Amino acid sequence: MKVAVIPTADAVTKESVVNKSVVMFDILRASSTISTALANGCKEVIPVVEVEDAFAVAKTLSENTFIIGGERGALKVPGFHLGNSPLEYTADVVSGKTVILTTTNGTKATSRAAAGASQVFIGSLLNISALARRIMEQGKDVVLVCAGTRGKFSLDDTLAAGMMVRELVQLWRNRPDAPASTIQVAEQNKPGVVYLDEVPVISGHALVLEDAAVAALRLAEAYLDNPLRGLYDCLHGQKLAQLGFAADLAYCAQVDILDVVPVYQDGKIIIER
């Protein structure tokens, strides 16, 4: 089982995700909002790329059955019911309803990841363990897609991807049939062997972390005791705090408070049953 990390949505290609399990991270704030809405009883989330798409989808749904949410520049879009703060998506607001969501980075990343992937899950710090267990059950190669921020690397999404890598490593080591020696984390036990694509020759019998996955893991270890510090260290987190969304950072920094596995299927995100 090989674990890869893609640093931005723009770096996703069909070849990089085809027939693999994909987890999309945009923890500030789309993927955290999606996970929260579904945990609070939302029927489904329909992610769309453009603002115009959101209004177009709304016209196909019955009145009072949907909520349009999302942001541009971190602020609520005029004419939308909600912005992109997970704290807005409470049970009394979203229970039983369809949420149509568009965001600057996250919904685009979901769309790109869905092109060829075996299955696309939505990840955040809030539901890391539930997702890791599901990924391990599938047993397929996994690609962790970081949405990034306007096409650039983002510390927050990579931190979440690293937390996922850490959880996968722990689950692998706890398997009765997988001794720790079969985990290839930046170390090779066959020096001098030449092979293609920088993949160890024993990869079929190991959990193999690509270099970007190892880097994300080390980042997660650095912030393990204080994920909130990581969110404040990133430029997007600082922007949100300056705009008055400090409470969102505190919420999104929480680890494993939701036991949900959001999965993207046929243009909609639902809780996998």
Is residue 238 one of the residues assigned to a domain?
yes
Q: Is residue 194 in some structural domain?
A: no
| Domain assignment present for 177 | yes
Note whether 121 and 65 are within 8 A (CB): no
Question: From residue 215, how far is each of 12, 152, 159, 192 by CA, in Å?
Answer: 18, 17, 10, 23
pLDDT in tens, 234-273: 999 999 999 999 999 999 999 999 999 999 999 999 998 6
Q: Is the residue at 98 inside a domain?
A: yes
What secondary structure does DSSP assign to 113-143, as a single string? HTTTBSEEEEE-GGGHHHHHHHHHHH-S-EE
Region of poorest pLDDT, from 15-19, 31-35, 125-129, 155-159: 15-19
pLDDT at 185: 53
**What's phi and psi for 271, nearest 5 deg?**
-85, 125
Helix or strand (DSSP H, E) at 144 = strand 142-146
Q: Report the alpha-carbon distance of residue 81 to residue 63 in Å, rounded.
A: 13
How far is it, in rounded angstroms, from Cα 65 to Cα 61? 7
Separation CA 8–CA 10 (nearest Å) = 5
Write down the pLDDT at residue 264: 95
Residue at 146 is within a domain: yes
* Longest distance between any two alpha carbons in the chain, whole Å: 66
pLDDT, tens digit (0-9, with 9 covering 90-100), for 107-119:
888 888 887 788 9
Amino acid 193: pLDDT: 46
pLDDT interval class at 154 (50, 70, 90): very high
Burial label, 233 (beta-carbon count in 10 A; 0-12, 13-18, 19+)? middle
Is residue 215, in this structure, part of any structural domain at all? yes
What's the pLDDT at 188? 46
Residue numbers of the domain that contains 114: 2-189+201-271
Dihedral (C-alpha) 66, 35, 238, 230: value to the nearest 10 degrees? Answer: 180
**CA 83, 84, 85: angle at the middle one, nearest 5?**
100
Note the pLDDT tens digit of each residue in 165-219.
Answer: 999 999 998 887 765 555 555 444 444 444 445 565 555 568 899 999 999 999 9
Domain count within the chain: 1
The answer to the question of residue 139 being in a domain is yes
- Residues 94, 130: contact at Cβ < 8 Å? no
CATH number of the domain residue 48 falls in = 3.90.1560.10
Residue 196 within a domain: no
Could you report the per-residue pLDDT of 22-59, keeping only the tens digit for each? 999 999 999 999 999 999 999 999 999 999 999 999 99
Cβ proximity of 236 and 242 under 8 Å: no
Looking at residue 273, its pLDDT comes to 65
Overall average pLDDT of the 113-138 stretch: 92
| pLDDT tens sequence across 221-237 | 999 999 999 999 999 99
